[in-house]
Amino acid sequence: MRDVMRDVVVVGGGLCGLAAAYELHKNHIPTTLIEVKPELGGSLQTKTVNGFIFDGAMMAHDIAEPGRFEAYLAELGIMDHAFVTDEGRLAFDAGNRVLIDALARRIESIPRMMRMAVSTLGRFDDGRFSICMENGMLLDARALVVAIPALYAERVFYTLTPEISYRLLDYRYDTITRVSVGYRTSDGLPLVIPPDTPLTEIQCLTGTPRTPSKNGTVIQAALRFAAHDLPDDPVGELAALMGWPPNPDADHIATWPHSDPAQWRQSDHPRTVAHIQSLLPAGVALANSDYVPTSAPPHLDERVQQGIDAARRIIAHIG
Ligand SMILES: Cc1cc2nc3c(=O)[nH]c(=O)nc-3n(C[C@H](O)[C@H](O)[C@H](O)COP(=O)(O)OP(=O)(O)OC[C@H]3O[C@@H](n4cnc5c(N)ncnc54)[C@H](O)[C@@H]3O)c2cc1C
């Protein structure tokens, strides 16, 4: 039996899904958000250890359109919580959660189904979309925003549009471990990555609100390591490799088996994404960094914009 009728269901409560849900809510479209985890935010999770604020994903972001994004942050009331790093990137004083929590507050009044996984999408005879949950519950909606990575979307689309599932099956991901360390000092912390190491990127924030002392430092290193390949003491080995003091005042390790699609490095990825988009039934929008038609990692604001654009396509469809 169907549950109550709703206009739009947003599947996935990461940054893209939240931006889409907020845009729909702003436009007075009855929306329900479904998220399988107990917390919103998806890959943007923040953890505080001994007063140091660490992000599991990137902690400082390149922004494609700073003016537009600043206006969005101001609309969310969090412009005062953003700052520009020495490298010209944008970071948040209390981590990426600042953005997630602000969006979550804006959609507080919409129905939220947490710890509920969508297993399959389909159609009822009357043309409305069916949303079959893993617990057997059946929902319906006039339109859908699917804001989940390809490795989950592949299963979800199998009944509705099998051709999309076949395309998404080809996605391959990079595995990345982000090791973050915090020091109460900024002295003696070289940041140049030595050659021939598994390190791909180092980000560093010094003298920001993300450390308990004024001169403290938070450093995040990205390593191309799967969890099972990690050395016994990744923090100690990283410190030795970089020439940092061996015992940081705080650390945090986040391993992402499916961090970003390897396809970003392939020149035909934009064409694949365009093809997947063309296969979407009217009334279904896809939003997630896996579906950005780019050959380079997209920027934080582009992921937000992707959620907004998906919502706007749905609003145009509903009419
Ligand atoms: C280490 C790392 C590096 C990254 N680098 C980049 C980068 O350079 N550029 C970039 O654009 N992106 C990057 N990403 C991805 C980026 O963090 C996300 O694109 C961004 O946060 C937007 O999130 P999202 O909403 O698209 O997806 P996610 O953050 O993956 O959120 C999807 C949500 O959907 C939920 N979900 C999944 N399946 C279901 C289901 N069946 N039913 C209900 N809920 C479901 C998940 O629990 C999750 O909360 C990176 C991610 C990591 C981890």
What integer pLDDT is reported at residue 6 of this predicted model?
66
What integer pLDDT is reported at residue 3 of this predicted model?
52
Q: If you average pLDDT over residues 166-179, what whole number do you get?
A: 89
Q: Is 225 left (phi over 0), alpha (psi -120 to 50) or beta?
A: beta
What integer pLDDT is reported at residue 275 of this predicted model?
95
The three-state secondary structure class of 282 is coil
* Mean of all residue pLDDT scores within the chain: 92
The yes-or-no verdict on residue 268 having pLDDT over 60 is yes
For 242-279, b where at least 16 C-beta lie within 10 A, e where not — what string?
bebeeebbbbbbbbbebbbbebbeeeebeebbeebeeb
Task: Using the atom order of ligand 1, give the atom closest to the CA of residue 41.
Answer: 49
- What single-letter amino acid sits at 66? P
Report residue 196's pLDDT band, with 50, 70 and 90 as the boundaries: confident
User: Going by CA atoms, what residue is nearest to atom 8 of ligand 1?
Assistant: 297
Nearest Cα neighbor of 115 from 35, 231, 29 is 35
pLDDT per residue as tens digits for the range 138-163: 999 999 999 999 999 999 999 999 99
Task: Using the atom order of ligand 1, give the atom closest to the CA of residue 222.
Answer: 1
Report residue 227's pLDDT band, with 50, 70 and 90 as the boundaries: low
287 CA distance to ligand 1 middle (Å): 10
The yes-or-no verdict on residue 266 having pLDDT over 90 is no
Q: If you average pLDDT over residues 195-210, what whole number do you get?
A: 90
- What single-letter amino acid sits at 124? F
User: Going by CA atoms, what residue is nearest to atom 7 of ligand 1?
Assistant: 297
What integer pLDDT is reported at residue 175 of this predicted model?
84
For the chain, domain boundaries: 5-45+93-171+262-318
Half-sphere exposure of 309 (CA within 13 A, CB side): 12
CATH topology of domain 5-45+93-171+262-318: FAD/NAD(P)-binding domain (3.50.50)
Q: What share of the chain is helix, strand, coil (3-state, %, to 5)?
A: 30, 30, 40
Q: Supply the ipTM of this predicted assembly.
A: 0.93
Q: If you average pLDDT over residues 22-49, what whole number do you get?
A: 97
The yes-or-no verdict on residue 14 having pLDDT over 60 is yes
How, if at all, do strands 284-286 and 138-146 pair? Answer: parallel
The yes-or-no verdict on residue 255 having pLDDT over 70 is yes
What integer pLDDT is reported at residue 5 of this predicted model?
52
57 CA distance to ligand 1 middle (Å): 10
How far apart, in whole angstroms, are the C-alpha atoms of residue 11 and residue 4? 17
43 CA distance to ligand 1 middle (Å): 5
**Residues at CB less than 6 angstroms from ligand 1:** 11-17, 34-37, 42-44, 57-58, 117-118, 147-149, 152, 156, 176, 178, 256, 259-260, 288-289, 297-298, 303
